[in-house]
Amino acid sequence: MSGAITETAVTIRVDGQEVAVPEGATILDACDAAGVETPTICYGPTLTPVNVCRLCVVELDGSRALVPSCSRPAEEGMVVHTDSERVRHSRKMVLEFLTTGVDVSQADELGQWAEHYGADPSRYVPGGETMDEPVRVQDNLYIRDYDKCVLCYRCVEACGDDAQHTYAISVAGRGFGARISAEFDVTLPESACVYCGNCVAVCPTNALQFKTEFDLRQADDWRPEDQTVTQTVCSYCGVGCNLELHVQDNQIVKCTSPDDHDVTSGNLCIKGRFGWNYV
Amino acid sequence: MIFLWGSNAREAHPIFFHHVLKGIDNGARMYCVDPRYTSSAQFSDVWVGIDVGTDIALANGIGREIIHAGLANQDFIAHSTQGFEAYAASVEPFTPEAVAAICGIPAEVVVEMAHAYATADKAQILWTLGITEHHNAVDNVLSLCNLALLTGHVGRWGSGLVPLRGQNNVQGGGDMGAIPNKFPGFASVDDPDHRARFEAAYGRELNPVPGLHLTLMFEAMEQGDLRALYVIGENPADSEADALHARAQLESLDILVVQDILMTRTAEMADVVLPASVAWAESEGTVTSSERRVQRVRPAVSPPGQARHDIDILCDMAEAMGDELGPRDPKAAWDELRSLSAMHGGMAWERLEAAGGLQWPCPDEDHPGSAFLHGWLWADDLEGRDPAPFSVLEHEGPTEELSEKFPLRLTTGRALDSYNTGVQSGQYDSPIRFAGLDMNTHDAAGLGIADGDRVRVCSPRGSVEMNARVVSSLPRGLAFTTLHHPELIDVNVLTNPEWDPKSGTAEFKAAAVRVELVVAPETAGASVG
Amino acid sequence: MPPRLRGHPLADLHFGDDQPTEAEQAAIDAIVPQANAASIVETERIVRGGRSRRHGLRHLLLPVLHSLQHEIGWISPGGLNGAAERLGVPPAEAYGVATFYELLRTADPGHRDDVVHVCVDPACALAGNNELRTTLDADGARVHDSPCLGQCERAPALFVQGVGRPDRVPADDNEEFQLPQAGDPGLRVLRRVGVVDPTSLESYREHGGYEALATAIEMGPDAVIAVISDSGLSGRGGAAFPTGIKWRAVADEPGADKHVVANCDESEPGTFKDRILCEQDPFAVIESMTIAGLATGASHGWIYIRGEYPRATARLESAIAQARASGLLGDDVAGSGQRFDIELRRGAGAYICGEETALFNSIEGFRGEPRNKPPFPTTHGLFSQPTAVNNPETLINALDIVIDGPDTYRSLGTERSPGTRLFCLSGRIGVPGLYEVPFGTPLGDLLDLAGGPVGSLAAVLLGGAAGVFVGPDSLDMPLTLEDTREASATLGSGVVTVFDDTVDMEAVVVRIAEFFRDESCGQCVPCRVGTQRQHEVLVELQGSDKPLTKQRSELIDDMALAMVDASICGLGHTAASAVRSALSLGLIGNSQ
């Protein structure tokens, strides 16, 4: 999206405050510029907004329904409310919906927002449908735990149009039965997956995890507070991808790339993402 | 318009290929010239499967068609180039039909590519080792440069010639003077003025004789002129073409010192092994990527056991020899470089800290770095330089011709999940790893070979066993393997050591081989874990 | 079979080892011949493909999947691979599309028998679908529960999905079509229905067909759009958007790569009007689309029709072919010098694809997920090009307006709801069927026109599952856009389902909630989870002998508000409306 941004400024009101943003910027960008924090799940800075989680909705004067701030371009003169009764209600409900039926125990940000908006998942009918999916451990690089999946589409976007163009996964099925899946749910080694791990990098709920992290968590030894993150350059081909090495006890435990890096935009290939065992 | 020529960037440079994909998504057309229908080729509008080693014939043919169709950029040629007449005369025999016969492709596609390239607003030629791992590597490159000069697709934003570097710091190594005839910043060893600058800075006399590149070193070993070798982070026992020969040379040395992070095959042969730290994850420093982008590497973990930083080992070596190389501080070393290499002058250590680094030339601290080179070609005065020369090039083809005894062409390359001789990439558990020989469906059927069969591949230099995979992504007569798994498949036992006198690169891309069935499939493993 | 193009190591477009059988390959070839494949192997050394070529073929994905389903009764891994490879679509995406639709199966059913779909929605439930199902089961039929099949006037409805032979609706075979209002001189939209021979262009012309097109060509695009605007014609699909404004917006976009889409995907439980229009007056659909095409400057027409409508599909296809043969479609439409032609696409069992942007995605070969608006279809519609989407009733209205002018149209109905309106009457009503009355006709009069309610009237569901229940005290309500809006009701797509006091309304409402749960595309959280949780609350209520608690009532309201406010599309926006109206009318929730 940033490619569309030009120098022309657009002024909108966010919670009574005038904000000028470049043309092509979204309402979310304007909220950021106004210092208004907005909860998001499906939005990722390197991904085309799919606006499916509806957590970032805001009230826009003149619009009957609430609008997703992540994808709605800011237009001159818009008046936006981010903390109205309606906005708080919808955000609370989205958070309740996400926390019923999905294991969000490792989605820290989601949990904080749920508390902020007073979401109460306990008020639903007991025994309601859940994701109910086994953990898929099919190789030694990363695992898929769809009990934690909120169907935000970020992995699908990263695997497909927005970065990798591999399209190994898609949303399959419909409604509450929709799942992220390869064709006929074949295992990843049988699928088109090339193990770039760009899906893992964008997953907001830890449904996709490095196997190293999964193993440490199983052993109850995953300690983010004891981890350091160091930015360096990949040792393989000559493209110059920046890596962020996450280190615990002098061992690399996972590897990411900065979203704002010109070369990678947060993406890596299998070697950069997983090929550091030899260190 | 994109020419992807002799490059499987989808696998060898995956994140670079993301940028290519953005171009394709925005409507760029891509022609992929490669003997193999690679995973990169799948994204191209047209895949053109030329015979291995016929690149110059194709490039000359495209050049001829551009000239004959009146599509050459006459203004650019007149203003910015020299030697056009001789070039035009030299490509005259390369009619589309002649090229078709040499390259094994239809004549029409030669014409089509010429028109697509010449009429594009912006066009890039991207290449990798498919161009350079030949006995006439430099000529191959020059043949592509000719096309850019013919059309003016160079020195402009969006148009250019893009050689993709294969290693994370092969560019930086050259920039820092780790080539036999250059000082840092590409100052020439045999140029007295250049040398004087370095002698003044280092405070001593410097050897005016250029050194030997790797291929010449092996020749010198064979002739007994080179008796001691200090190898830093290289695995020539596996990576050299005709590996049996190379290993024999290494064995014959008086002393072999290897400084490496892992016990490579070369290290195993060494008299002394100096354990080093992992440069990109355990040490401070910089690397320079394919696009001349200098970026910082930083220590994330501390080196194990007795492993030490390269800078400490080198300084100790110097001290042991009674000399002093300066402070053992990467930043100090970098500042020394900046003082001697003008193109790095503006790259203050602090500026390199930011994500993204800086691209040289970056002469001063206000300079933003350079996204592309050769803009001078479009300057009214060519910035005082000589016009760029066309090159007259002859088609030669691979040195090793196919014969009754060795009827198949073997070419080599990389796979997505692995890297070079697998020293690093062999250590992780890739679910998509395959080690073996890819063969064309018809060739395999003719030899009674089925997918998964164990086969013996023989070249004039030796033979190696591996598993076969039957694919239709290779034209008849071509077989392919990677060089990633020397412990399983000693590919370089087979490859041709003929090398390009201009670059020192061996002809890894073209050997003549014979393939024989060894055992039935049930006893052969399909892949390595 | 041509050799498979397997790359090394096919990092992308990677197909598993399963290959199509000969029958499956033939089913694929029938839709996309090898010569049109995404990758053409020209010689062993030249392959032509590329992403643009792939994208150009993707809209054939749903037709190919239909073809495979029809051939062997399911989409097998080999069949999917074959289809995906031919079109250059990643198999995971093709699978995502295949699993989106009710009529496509991705698990081996273990037989190659036809599948008999039995409607489980309210009108058919009242008409004894359970008994029908029991009989069919006893006969050994492969019975499949289905949402509304669009035959509510002849409930209980059946649709037979053929394997290796054509799909069919048994009722079509033994039915002499009879319009309840046959011979009524007040009919406008239904004037030719039941009168004209729907299979004959000649018959259509004899009944005034193609006069409107000739008039429109004479008038020119601007004048056509002006009379449509002046008439006050509004969309009949539910949103009631002014047709003239829509056409004007598309006409104002540059270029000819614009589209007119006839949305014949009515799937609202209780709706069957488009089926009858397409079956009985298909040329009127074609002619009115052509007028829309010429008026908006669009050269591409698309008909998207329910997969459960085999006869309507056949008649439309025949009408398109006849019109094309007579120069009424094609490069020079009726001597106008303009190009307009029509392609027909069948849906595959997805209510959501009646939502216009979901419909675009479905045609384009993607999952039928609605898009966020803006941008609107008039600028970014089908293939992201300017598009006018109308349903058949709206389109056919345009014919008379073009010929007679806006005033004649406005002479019926009210100032704000001019013209006539089609209503689909079903349930406990004397003569179920399709009726046309002027806007403003009171609800009670409409029921009387259809023979009056059967039994003691308890409630009327207006607008279908996405609509609202009204009680007997609403019989005086004039059926206009403005009056229904004021009463917090809706006309929706013209559904009028009648219930008497013997009906188990809890079961009806639970089924409506289940319908939305089943039909939610699953894309946005409020609808995907909201419809699920709403259904759970109602099932709990149904299983309880206690009245709805305050907490549950609040939860229903809270969920409803979030679905209305934060869902992407109309499905989520309306998923709670019938439920809440049933609660407020006291139809459910007060069991003792």
Structure tokens, C313: 């599909």
One DSSP character per residue, A102-121 reads S--TT-HHHHHHHHHTT--G
Put simply, whether B28 touches C (Cβ < 8 Å) is: no
When computed from its CA atoms, the radius of gyration of chain C, rounded to whole angstroms, is: 24
Total number of domains in chain C: 5
What CATH number corresponds to the domain at position B266?
Answer: 3.40.50.740
- CA A89 to chain C, closest CA, distance in angstroms equals 7
Same domain, C206 and C346: yes
Residue B526 pLDDT exceeds 60: no
Residue labelled with tokens 């981010």: A82
Residue A119 pLDDT exceeds 80: yes
Residue labelled with tokens 């300057």: B379
Put simply, whether C17 touches B (Cβ < 8 Å) is: no
Same domain, B448 and B493: yes
Same domain, B151 and B200: no
Q: d(Cα C468, Cα C582) in Å, to the nearest integer?
A: 8
The residues near C537 (Cβ < 8 Å, ≥ 6 apart) are A124, A125, C552, C555, C556, C559
What CATH number corresponds to the domain at position C424?
Answer: 3.10.20.600
What CATH number corresponds to the domain at position B499?
Answer: 2.40.40.20
CATH topology of domain A135-274: Alpha-Beta Plaits (3.30.70)
Flag if A240 and B299 touch (Cβ within 8 Å). no
DSSP state, C3?
A: P
Q: d(Cα A194, Cα A135) in Å, to the nearest integer?
A: 20
Average pLDDT over chain A, rounded to whole? 94
Average pLDDT over chain B, rounded to whole? 91
What CATH number corresponds to the domain at position C169?
Answer: 3.40.30.10
Q: d(Cα C317, Cα B267) in Å, to the nearest integer?
A: 75
| Phi and psi at residue C422, to the nearest 5° | -90, 140
CB pairs under 8 A between B and C: 89
Is B377 within a domain?
Answer: no
The chains found to touch A (3+ Cβ pairs under 8 angstroms) are: B, C
Residue C499 pLDDT exceeds 50: yes
At which of C491, C517, C543 does a domain end? Answer: C491
Q: What is the average per-residue pLDDT within C327-338?
A: 96
Flag if C46 and B480 touch (Cβ within 8 Å). no
Q: What is the average per-residue pLDDT within C499-524?
A: 96
Mutate to test the interface with A, among C58, C97, C99, C559 (most CBs of A within 10 A): C99
At which of C68, C98, C128 does a domain end? Answer: C98
Percent of chain A with pLDDT over 70: 97
> Nearest CB to B281: which of A188, A238, A276?
A276
The residues near A75 (Cβ < 8 Å, ≥ 6 apart) are A10, A12
The helix (H) or strand (E) run that includes residue B202 is helix B192-202
Is C181 within a domain?
Answer: no
Same domain, B148 and B177: no
The H-assigned helical ranges of chain A are: 27-33, 85-99, 108-116, 154-159, 198-202, 211-218, 270-274
Q: Which of residues 115-174 of B touch A (CB under 8 A)?
A: 164-171
Put simply, whether B285 touches A (Cβ < 8 Å) is: no
> Nearest CB to C51: which of B11, B43, B47?
B43
Same domain, B348 and B496: no
Same domain, B123 and B197: no
DSSP state, B159?
A: B
At which of B124, B158, B192 does a domain end? Answer: B158
Same domain, C431 and C573: no
Q: What angle do CA B415, B417, B420 make, to 5 degrees?
A: 60
Q: d(Cα C315, Cα C496) in Å, to the nearest integer?
A: 27
Flag if C9 and B30 touch (Cβ within 8 Å). no
Is B344 within a domain?
Answer: yes
Write out pLDDT tens, residues B408-435: 999 988 888 888 877 788 888 888 888 8
Put simply, whether C92 touches B (Cβ < 8 Å) is: no
Same domain, B147 and B183: no
Q: d(Cα B151, Cα B161) in Å, to the nearest integer?
A: 12
Q: d(Cα C528, Cα C526) in Å, to the nearest integer?
A: 6
Flag if C561 and A51 touch (Cβ within 8 Å). no
Distances (CA, A) of B121 to B29, B72, B263, B522: 12, 13, 51, 55
**B30-33 and B2-5 strand pairing:** parallel
pLDDT at A6: 52
**A208-210 and A142-145 strand pairing:** antiparallel
Interhelix angle C282-296/C392-404, nearest 10 degrees = 70
pLDDT at B239: 86
| C367 contacts on A by Cβ (under 8 Å) | 170-171
Residue B524 pLDDT exceeds 70: no
Q: Report the largest interatomic distance among the alpha carbons of chain B, rounded to a whole angstrom.
A: 70
Residue C82 pLDDT exceeds 70: yes
Residue B202 pLDDT exceeds 80: yes
- CA C84 to chain B, closest CA, distance in angstroms equals 14
Cβ pair B287, A233 in contact under 8 A: yes
pLDDT at A2: 40
What CATH number corresponds to the domain at position B31?
Answer: 3.40.228.10
| A89 contacts on C by Cβ (under 8 Å) | 558, 561-562, 565
| A164 contacts on B by Cβ (under 8 Å) | 18
Total number of domains in chain B: 3
Flag if C45 and B104 touch (Cβ within 8 Å). yes
Same domain, B176 and B57: no
> Nearest CB to C565: which of A86, A124, A194?
A86
Closest CA to B62 of B101, B110, B105, B108: B110
Write out pLDDT tens, residues A174-211: 999 999 999 999 999 999 999 999 999 999 999 999 99
pLDDT at B520: 55
Q: What is the average per-residue pLDDT within B235-255?
A: 90
Write out pLDDT tens, residues C366-415: 999 999 889 999 999 999 999 999 999 999 999 999 999 999 999 999 99
> Nearest CB to C566: which of A72, A90, A167?
A90
Q: What angle do CA A226, A230, A232 make, to 5 degrees?
A: 160
Put simply, whether A39 touches C (Cβ < 8 Å) is: no
> Nearest CB to B106: which of C8, C11, C46?
C46
Structure tokens, C468: 């609202």
Distances (CA, A) of C377 to C268, C380, C382, C572: 21, 5, 7, 19
pLDDT at C484: 94
DSSP state, B323?
A: -
> Nearest CB to A239: which of B279, B290, B425?
B290
Residue B529 pLDDT exceeds 60: no
Put simply, whether B464 touches A (Cβ < 8 Å) is: no
> Nearest CB to B12: which of A235, A237, A263?
A237
Is B400 within a domain?
Answer: no
The amino acid at residue A6 is T
Is C192 within a domain?
Answer: no
pLDDT at B29: 93
A1-129: in CATH 3.10.20.740: yes
Distances (CA, A) of C66 to C38, C75, C80, C169: 19, 9, 11, 17
The residues near A207 (Cβ < 8 Å, ≥ 6 apart) are A144, A145, A146, A147, A148, A149, A150
When computed from its CA atoms, the radius of gyration of chain A, rounded to whole angstroms, is: 20
Write out pLDDT tens, residues B210-234: 999 888 999 999 999 999 999 998 8
Mutate to test the interface with B, among C42, C43, C44 (most CBs of B within 10 A): C44
The chains found to touch B (3+ Cβ pairs under 8 angstroms) are: A, C
List the helix and strand counts (H, then E) for chain C.
25, 14
| A171 contacts on C by Cβ (under 8 Å) | 96, 367, 522-523
Closest CA to B239 of B5, B435, B505: B505
- CA A46 to chain B, closest CA, distance in angstroms equals 13
At which of C73, C98, C123 does a domain end? Answer: C98
pLDDT at C2: 29
Same domain, C223 and C332: yes
| C48 contacts on B by Cβ (under 8 Å) | 45-47
Flag if A231 and B355 touch (Cβ within 8 Å). yes
Flag if C47 and B46 touch (Cβ within 8 Å). yes
How many Å separate Cα C555 from the centre of its chain? 31
Residue B525 pLDDT exceeds 80: no
Put simply, whether C1 touches B (Cβ < 8 Å) is: no
| B417 contacts on A by Cβ (under 8 Å) | 194-195, 270-271, 275
Flag if A125 and C93 touch (Cβ within 8 Å). no
How many Å separate Cα B162 from the centre of its chain? 12
Same domain, B212 and B126: no
Closest CA in chain C for residue B476: C44
Which residues span the domain enclosing C447? 420-491
Q: What is the average per-residue pLDDT within A159-185?
A: 94
Q: B497 or C553: whose pLDDT is higher?
A: C553
- CA A193 to chain B, closest CA, distance in angstroms equals 9
Distances (CA, A) of B123 to A135, C334, C498: 47, 45, 68
CB pairs under 8 A between A and C: 177
Is C328 within a domain?
Answer: yes
Residue C1 pLDDT exceeds 70: no
Same domain, B415 and B321: no
Closest CA to C291 of C242, C239, C328: C328
pLDDT at B87: 97
Flag if C529 and A68 touch (Cβ within 8 Å). no
Q: d(Cα C426, Cα C155) in Å, to the nearest integer?
A: 8
Cβ pair C493, C266 in contact under 8 A: yes
How many Å separate Cα C186 from the centre of its chain? 27
| B48 contacts on C by Cβ (under 8 Å) | 45-46
Residue B528 pLDDT exceeds 50: no
Put simply, whether C350 touches A (Cβ < 8 Å) is: yes
Residue labelled with tokens 């040289």: B360
Mutate to test the interface with C, among B418, B472, B478 (most CBs of C within 10 A): B472
Cα atoms in the Cβ-side hemisphere of radius 13 Å centred on A57: 34
At which of B130, B158, B186 does a domain end? Answer: B158
Mutate to test the interface with B, among C12, C41, C51, C89 (most CBs of B within 10 A): C51
> Nearest CB to C524: which of A54, A160, A181?
A54
Same domain, C237 and C360: yes
Which residues span the domain enclosing B65? 2-158
Task: For residue B364, give the 3-state DSSP assignment.
Answer: coil
Closest CA to C534 of C553, C547, C507, C508: C553
Percent of chain B with pLDDT over 70: 98
Closest CA in chain C for residue B35: C45
Same domain, B204 and B348: yes
The H-assigned helical ranges of C347-391 are: 356-364
Domain-wise residue ranges, chain A = 1-129, 135-274
pLDDT at C5: 30
Closest CA in chain B for residue C4: B472
Write out pLDDT tens, residues C153-209: 999 999 999 999 999 999 988 777 889 999 899 999 999 999 999 999 999 999 999
Cβ pair B72, B117 in contact under 8 A: no
At which of B300, B335, B359 does a domain end? Answer: B359
Same domain, C436 and C542: no
Same domain, C464 and C560: no
Q: Sort A218 into a burial class: Cβ within 10 Å, 0-12 / 13-18 / 19+.
A: exposed
Same domain, B289 and B422: no
Residue A136 pLDDT exceeds 80: yes
Closest CA in chain B for residue A230: B300
Put simply, whether C567 touches A (Cβ < 8 Å) is: yes
Q: Sort A77 into a burial class: Cβ within 10 Å, 0-12 / 13-18 / 19+.
A: exposed
